[in-house]
Amino acid sequence: MSAEGMTLPKVIEEAQILSHEAPIAGVDILTLASPLIARSALPGQFVQISVPADAGYLRRPLGVAEVSREAGWIRLIYREVGRGTEGLAAMWTGTSVSVLGPLGRGFDTSLKHPLLVGGGMGLTPLLFFAAEHPNVSVLMGGRTRGEVFWEEIYRPHVRECFVTTDDGSYGEQGVVTTLLPKLLAEGDYDGVAVCGPPVMMERVAAIAAEYGIPCEVSLEKRMACGLGACLSCAVDTKSGRRKVCKDGPVFPAAEVYYAS
């Protein structure tokens, strides 16, 4: 495949682990000294990060959650779901990992007042959006109060924060799509950005379309190379087959949920 047919990395950087925290069991917040990537990363982009040799050979794609361009660090928030991420979670502060990125197409941040909608770990790339935009609101959902630990992280960056929980232990009982129609009817939002489980994203996209509000979705697929060469992350869109790592991970919702 020619260079034109693939997305080449901007940086491969040896990044020192500055801190590793666990807000809840099985979820990790990893902060890396990565000044080159921090300088150029945009909301919605991701990196491919190496894992210990005994945890697998392929890099793992992780969305960029926050950056400090001045201090030169990036922050990744991920769930331990297999050998790779479990191996990464076991790495000590002070050790280094190889980081390739930033990769992919990010969100449209030119909106005046976007509403970010996230469920579970889908709140990771949306956090970067919130931190970089002066006027965003967020609607977040989780199964229990413990799963919306995100609220404390988001609060300094957003105008308003709306929370739903499946069990009603915090915020409004239900899922994000329970509350979304009311917010879109009463708010002044000029766009929606969503990341989370596919069923949730498809329903959010449909509701946004009902209200005539543009919507972008951030897709998650298994990736091997992250460069657009291996085709492992290809998806069907209105414009034909597209690669999530190269043409996304952010797409206009109408392109990928056109059958809704």
pLDDT digits (tens, 9 = 90+) for 133-191: 999 999 999 999 999 999 999 999 999 999 999 999 999 999 999 999 999 999 999 99
> Is 85 annotated as a binding-site member?
yes
* Residue 215 marked as a ligand binder: no
Q: Is 245 annotated as a binding residue?
A: yes
Tell me: is residue 161 an annotated ligand-binding position.
no
Residue 230 marked ligand-binding: yes
Query: Does 84 show up as a binding residue in the annotation?
Result: yes
Burial level of 128, CB count in 10 A (0-12/13-18/19+)?
Answer: buried
- In 3D space, the residue among 177, 202, 184, 67 whose CA is nearest the CA of residue 137 turns out to be 184
- pLDDT for 10-67, tens place per residue? 689 999 999 999 999 999 999 999 999 999 999 999 999 998 877 777 889 999 999 9
CATH node for 114-255: 3.40.50.80
Please calculate the CA angle 148-78-20 and round it to the nearest 5 degrees.
Answer: 100
- Is 222 annotated for ligand binding? no
Instruction: For the domain covering 11-103, report its CATH number.
Output: 2.40.30.10
**Angle between the 176-186 and 198-210 helix axes, to the nearest 10 degrees?**
20
Q: Can you give the pTM of this predicted structure? A: 0.90
Domain ranges within the chain, ordered by starting residue: 11-103, 114-255
For residue 200, the SS3 value is: helix
Secondary structure letter of residue 7 according to DSSP: P
DSSP string covering 40-90: H--TT-EEEE---GGG-SS-EEEEEEEEETTTTEEEEEEE--SHHHHHHHT
Residue 233 annotated as binding site: yes
78 is in an annotated binding site: yes
